[in-house]
Structure 1
């Protein structure tokens, strides 16, 4: 099932919304630091309000709407996934651990064999 291609055009209004959203983030952070004489909760509330306003404005722009659409499609795809049962997950984890142990032993044996061949037989360093 193919999805129809969607062509989006970024308008001046969307660019303005994104710029204003960025300005709100910068303003929220600036307000947090400029209110350093106030109580901490006032500073945090100012920061949170600015960030919430910036996010709300972002989601009204075309890029925000695309992000929401992408999130909805991703969630639909996650629901289609057939997750393994606990028994299957434990078995696969066991296989991975067994493989790691076997590979560690193989690499250790290879290392010691090469060490013996190079240092003892060829170079006579020991």
Structure 2
């Protein structure tokens, strides 16, 4: 049985940053609709600016820094992956397609055999 601890916001500064980011998101949506009489590009620009500000505020919090570190670690791990060569990938794809066709034929034949046995032999329907 594994016990996992839930991540919580520990400092009041982080709480304030997350609250500010949430308010910026809500404010961006509100401004988008409050500027209904303005041109669309003004509304979208104001929404994008406030969303970018919300992302910026979030990334300065502890959770944002953890997210950035996770992304950097993911990129490092992705560089360690040994990718198959093109011929290997093509060969494996061909194997998968052949397997799918063989399984489709097997399932079709099984279905038809069961249909024949059930309807013709057992029920006597034609």
Indicate whether the TM-score tops 0.5: yes
- Aligned equivalents of 2:21 and 2:58: distance in 1? 6
Quote the residue 2:3 is aligned against.
Answer: none
Quote the residue 1:69 is aligned against.
Answer: 69
- The 4+ residue runs of structure 1 with deviation greater than 3 A are none
Segment drifting more, 51-60 vs 111-120: 111-120
Quote the residue 1:46 is aligned against.
Answer: 46
For 2:96, what is the secondary structure of its paired residue?
helix
Segment drifting more, 7-16 vs 42-51: 7-16
- Give ranges in structure 1 of 5+ residues lacking alignment: 1-6
Quote the residue 1:125 is aligned against.
Answer: 125
* TM-score relative to the length of structure 2: 0.90
Conservation of the 8 A alpha-carbon contact between 2:14 and 2:62: yes
- Give ranges in structure 2 of 5+ residues lacking alignment: 1-6
How many residues were matched structurally? 120
Conservation of the 8 A alpha-carbon contact between 1:10 and 1:62: no
Deviation of 1:118 after TM superposition, in Å, equals: 1.2
1:1-126 superposed matches below 5 A: 10-126=10-126
Conservation of the 8 A alpha-carbon contact between 1:21 and 1:55: yes
- Aligned equivalents of 1:122 and 1:44: distance in 2? 68
Task: Please report the RMSD computed on the Cα atoms of aligned residues, expressed in angstroms.
Answer: 1.5
Quote the residue 1:4 is aligned against.
Answer: none
Deviation of 1:58 after TM superposition, in Å, equals: 0.2
- Aligned equivalents of 2:45 and 2:115: distance in 1? 65
- Aligned equivalents of 1:8 and 1:40: distance in 2? 39
* TM-score relative to the length of structure 1: 0.90
